[in-house]
Structure 1
């Protein structure tokens, strides 16, 4: 007997008629009658006798029904679990992000996600962009968050939103909150974040486009939050994404940059790898601040 045959047989045994079994299963009576006939042909014996228009279970049907009760209970358990997973996903998500996003975007996202999905455990790792891409391909991560990541075969990249590039200044900067152009920025002592990662490359391209790429930084700090900490101490000015600029504990002044620059915040996963309810729910939480 096929599983569908067992389901229909069980419904007939419970209700005592084809019409009521069809109503219970939300199908037509002819469909139930056809499935029952097919089941009986497959078995080689009758499950019901037709007596005065009513179905009378055979001895074989009584024996099968006793065993099918156990299977039906298991099926009910599976349906119940499926409903619960739709409403309250369970499982484990391994999430990687840039170190700066681990201090800015990720904590509130985790807080919101855990409030709605407390039964999903999370593992958070901070890595640089190339390490994140490699970890996705080797299945060490389920999901990664990065700024302007390079295209990589086998990786799906979806932009969640954009973050402005801003000038991070010492907290006592006299022109705090006033826009600053790139030439004025370079006229100060400035802190570079290098050009080996996507954000550094974006800034380097902007300086080159204005013919300002010959200027030498006072300090090069290839870690973004180190650059922020140096700016907070008055060592110089730094160009950073706004998420990083606003995430540190030490006070800084943050000034808009002209012309405006921005970086995309991307969610990354292995092609075909984002197939869980929990993973898609976490993506929704990450999108919320950019909505």
Structure 2
């Protein structure tokens, strides 16, 4: 007896008719009748007799139902799991993102993701890229977002969107007349400066952009959020990504000027090649790709 035979048999037992079974299984009534006939030919005995327009189970069908009940219950559980997986409800989507993305871009993408999966849950944690890579390899998270391209044989690195770089400074650092003008390395010469870790890709990019110009380094940091916090505290100026630069810019906490970056800068999605994330993660990535950058978020 095939699995499809069992599904049709159980549906008829529950509803008492091929019409009712067709409704439960979301197939046509002729398809139910054809499957029932094939099941009876395969078994070699009748499962139902028609009486007053209804299908009445034979003694053989009642005995068969007793044996099939555990399997029927298991099939029902499987259908519930499939429905939950389709709706993103089976388990929370576990996400890690570097500080700038976790605080500024990912929340907007998660808002769109939540509309697509209103009954789903997620877990979001801010982390360094090296922590994210480790968590992906041991299966602690499903997907990570970073500004660093990772070359690791067990991870898949997918470009999501690119971003610009900005010099940020405390309020009134520059006259308003120059704010729309891109900053050049000479503008930073001798200026108090919060440097990014030169081991990070963005730190290397900034050093390449400075091209030998030497600001007066007041502090070195590992995250762009810390660089912004020090700028807001009037320690100096810094070069950061567009997400960090534009966060709260309307409140006048910092001034910002774009720079001509020597390289393209990208946000990447990281996943484990041997443990693909739930399909709902694809929706999150697409939401980030559609948002494209924090400037577009500000306009929405």
Quickly name the TM-score band, shorter chain normalised: 0.7 to 0.9
Between stretches 77-86 and 162-171, larger displacement belongs to: 77-86
User: Who is 1:36 aligned against?
Assistant: 40
CA distance, structure 2, for counterparts of residue 56 and residue 125 of structure 1: 58
User: SS of the residue aligned with 1:124?
Assistant: strand
- Tell me, in whole angstroms, the C-alpha distance in 1 between the residues paired with 2:147 and 2:230: 22
Q: C-alpha displacement at 1:62, in angstroms? A: 3.1
Displacement of 1:257 in angstroms is: 0.9
Range that drifts further, 120-129 or 106-115: 106-115
Distance 1:101 1:276 in 2: 21
Is 1:202 the counterpart of 2:202? The answer is no
How far apart are residue 156 of structure 1 and its match?
Answer: 1.0
1:190 aligns with 2:193: yes
Q: TM-score when scaled to structure 1?
A: 0.77
| 8 Å CA contact 1:90, 1:119 repeated in 2 | no
Q: Which moved more, 1:116-125 or 1:147-156?
A: 116-125
Q: Distance in 2 between matches of 1:247 and 1:48?
A: 68
Counterpart check, 1:100 vs 2:105: no
- Alignment root-mean-square deviation, CA: 3.5
SS in 1 for 2:92: strand
Partner of 2:184: 181
In the superposition, the TM-score normalised over structure 2's length comes to 0.75
- Determine the structure 2 residue equivalent to 1:46: 45
Q: Is 1:256 aligned to residue 258 of structure 2? A: yes
SS at match of 1:100: helix
Structure 2 unaligned residues grouped into runs of 5+ = 294-300
Q: Distance in 1 between matches of 2:48 and 2:180?
A: 87
Q: 1:275 & 1:259 partners in 2: Cα distance?
A: 33
1:16-37, CA deviations, whole angstroms, 9 ceiling, x for partnerless residues?
A: 79xx8984374783x6544432
User: What are structure 1's unaligned runs of at least 5 residues?
Assistant: none
CA distance, structure 2, for counterparts of residue 57 and residue 119 of structure 1: 40
Contact 2:87 2:117 in 1 (8 A): no
Q: Does 1:215 align with 2:214?
A: yes
Tell me which residue corresponds to 2:29.
24
What does residue 159 of structure 1 align with?
Answer: 159
* Residue in structure 2 matched with residue 82 of structure 1 by the alignment: 82
Equivalent-residue separation in structure 1 for 2:269 and 2:192 (angstroms): 34
Deviation, structure 1 residue 88: 5.6
Report the equivalent of 1:280.
282
